[in-house]
């Protein structure tokens, strides 16, 4: 009995010692930690080519033309690209039995990131009277392509083996609204890449035209503002050219006509009539030798000085312009005789004689004047002024210049 008790105590003591050793461990030992396995990230695999169908209608009738659009997305990375054999997809070469290919178009490619989209539109029709109220599958199509790889620093690319992409199965209902295998209503939009390209070109054209019109409007606004600001900042009081040459000649002719009307039934010439006739004749002489008479705006209530005439602007309703000339009979000098310019020479001779006659009558000593000679000279100068005013108009100058050019360009016989 004592032996069994001692044995039980010894067994319990050995168990306690073993447990303490397992917990504390031997000196210099380090606990071993379990390491979690490292999970390598998995790269997402991207299909190099992905294509799908789209029809313009959800259901067809026998003989009805409709549109079938093939859209494909190609992966084009720096080192890898999918090369599709597009020649087999051309509308003029493809066979899509049991449908009849009427034609089609190829839209421009669209680039989006590392993918390039291309689209081919086929115009089809189905002629078979045995498929009323039935589903007809689109023709199976396998698109051939190769993987083109290019290493870093290499110029030549390597083409891999030929692969094929099988188009997904799709059906059309003949003379029905929705096919039996459809899970939702199919998009019947006919918008394609080609239509988008045309609309984009039209939008760019309209945008460019609008920008040009807006720019022109901006330029016109700036010109208007510049003129408005300029007219307020500097208000010219004296213009460099108030009257045209034709207007001054018409004013001289009116002044000579006024003197002629006062002379009807009157007595001898007065000093005022002689001064006005001489001033008008000098203006005619200035214009006849292509010199510009002096002109300036008359002040409010300012009388017309001696040796000048007053001409109103704006068809007789504007301010008065004081016009004067300084030509004399001696300034005209000897007038050369040109056979081709005989009329001009005769005109200058008449003006020179008129200046001499009016000057002698005004500044000569008191004595009898030749009233008849003065009246004839007045009538001659008035006629010259009227003819010159007609010749110096803008229209007559243009017609004369055109006739002169035609004469100069005419070949000599």
Mean pLDDT value of segment 6-30: 53
> Could you tell me which of 89, 85, 92, 53 has the C-alpha nearest to residue 69?
53
In angstroms, what CA-CA distances link 301 with 240, 308, 314? 22, 16, 19
Q: Which residues of 107-120 are buried (b: 16+ CB within 10 A; e: fewer)?
A: beeeeeeebbbbbb
Produce one character per residue of 370-395: b if its CB has 16 or more CB atoms within 10 Å, e if not. Answer: eeeebeebbebbbebbbebbeebbee
Neighbours of 333 (CB within 10 A): 10
- As a residue count, the chain comes to 413
pLDDT for residue 31: 44
pLDDT value of residue 11? 64
Give the span between the Cα atoms of 214 and 145, in whole angstroms.
50
pLDDT, residue 237, reads 47
Q: Could you give the CA distance from residue 256 to residue 358 in angstroms, rounded to a whole number?
A: 12
Higher pLDDT, 337 or 98: 98
> Whole-prediction pTM value?
0.41
All structural domains of the chain, each given as residue ranges with its CATH number in brackets, are: 49-190 (2.60.40), 245-408 (no CATH)
The secondary structure element, H or E, covering residue 102 is strand 100-106
What percent of the chain lies above the pLDDT cut of 90? 13
Which range among 36-40, 88-92, 192-196 shows the weakest confidence by mean pLDDT? 36-40
Cis peptide before 98 (omega within 30 of 0): yes
- pLDDT at residue 216, rounded to an integer: 93
Distance CA 296, CA 291 (A): 16
CB 286 within 8 A of CB 280: no
Of all residues in the chain, the percent with pLDDT exceeding 70 is 75
What is the per-residue pLDDT for 140? 85
Q: For the chain, how big is the Rg over CA atoms in Å?
A: 54
At 51 the pLDDT is 92
pLDDT tens per residue, range 58-92: 788 888 889 999 999 998 888 888 899 888 899 99
Strand partners, 73: 50, 117
State the number of CA atoms in the 13 A half-sphere of 4 facing the CB.
Answer: 1
Close Cβ partners of 158 (under 8 Å, ≥ 6 residues apart)? 148, 149, 150
Q: Which residues pair with 125 in a beta bridge?
A: 100
Confidence of residue 261 (pLDDT cuts 50, 70, 90): confident
Q: Which residue did the predictor score with more confidence, 227 or 317?
A: 227
Q: Give the mean pLDDT of 286-313.
A: 87
Contact between 138 and 173 (Cβ < 8 Å): no
Q: 370-386 pLDDT, tens per residue?
A: 888 888 888 898 899 89
pLDDT for 149 equals 87
The per-residue pLDDT for 263 is 78
Work out the pLDDT band at 188, boundaries 50, 70, 90: low
Burial class of residue 135 (count of CB atoms within 10 Å of its CB; 0-12, 13-18, 19+): middle
Q: CA 111, CA 328: separation in Å to the nearest integer? A: 85
* Total Cβ atoms within 10 A of residue 152: 6
Q: Has residue 264 got a pLDDT over 90?
A: no
Pick the more confident residue, 35 or 272. 272
For 94-118, the pLDDT digits (tens) are 988 888 899 999 999 998 888 899 9
């Amino acid at each position: 009995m004592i032996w069994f008790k001692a044995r039980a105590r010894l067994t319990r003591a050995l168990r306690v010692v073993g447990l303490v050793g397992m917990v504390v461990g031997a000196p210099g030992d380090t606990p071993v930690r379990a390491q979690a396995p490292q999970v390598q990230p998995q790269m997402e695999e991207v299909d190099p080519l992905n294509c799908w169908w789209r029809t313009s209608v959800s259901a067809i009738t026998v003989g009805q033309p409709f549109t079938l659009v093939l859209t494909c997305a190609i992966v084009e990375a720096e080192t890898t690209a999918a090369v599709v054999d597009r020649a087999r997809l051309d509308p003029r070469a493809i066979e899509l039995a049991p449908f009849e290919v009427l034609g089609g178009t190829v839209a421009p490619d669209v680039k989006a990131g590392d993918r390039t989209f291309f689209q081919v539109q086929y115009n089809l029709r189905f002629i078979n009277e045995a498929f009323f109220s039935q589903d007809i599958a689109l023709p199976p199509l396998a698109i051939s392509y190769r993987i083109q790889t290019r290493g870093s620093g290499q110029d030549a690319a390597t083409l891999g083996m030929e692969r094929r992409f099988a188009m997904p199965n799709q059906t059309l209902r003949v003379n029905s609204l929705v096919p039996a295998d459809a899970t939702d209503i199919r998009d019947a939009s006919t918008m394609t890449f080609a239509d988008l390209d045309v609309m984009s070109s039209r939008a760019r054209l309209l945008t460019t035209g609008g920008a040009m019109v807006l720019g022109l409007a901006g330029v016109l606004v700036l010109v208007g503002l510049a003129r408005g600001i300029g007219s307020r900042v500097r208000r010219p009081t004296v213009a460099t050219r108030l009257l045209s040459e034709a207007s001054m000649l018409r004013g001289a002719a009116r002044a000579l006509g006024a003197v002629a009307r006062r002379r009807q039934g009157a007595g001898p010439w007065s000093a005022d009539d002689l001064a006005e006739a001489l001033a008008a004749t000098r203006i005619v002489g200035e214009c006849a030798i292509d010199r510009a008479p002096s002109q300036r705006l008359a002040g409010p209530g300012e009388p017309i000085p001696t040796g000048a005439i007053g001409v109103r602007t704006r068809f007789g309703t504007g301010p008065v312009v004081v016009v004067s000339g300084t030509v004399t009979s001696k300034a005209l000098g000897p007038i050369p005789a040109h056979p081709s310019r005989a009329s001009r020479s005769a005109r200058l001779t008449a003006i020179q004689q008129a200046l001499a006659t009016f000057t002698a009558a005004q500044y000569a000593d008191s004595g009898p004047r030749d009233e008849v000679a003065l009246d004839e000279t007045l009538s001659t100068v008035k006629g010259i002024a009227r003819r010159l005013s007609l010749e110096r108009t803008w229209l007559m100058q243009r017609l004369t210049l055109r006739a002169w050019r035609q004469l100069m360009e005419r070949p000599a016989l």
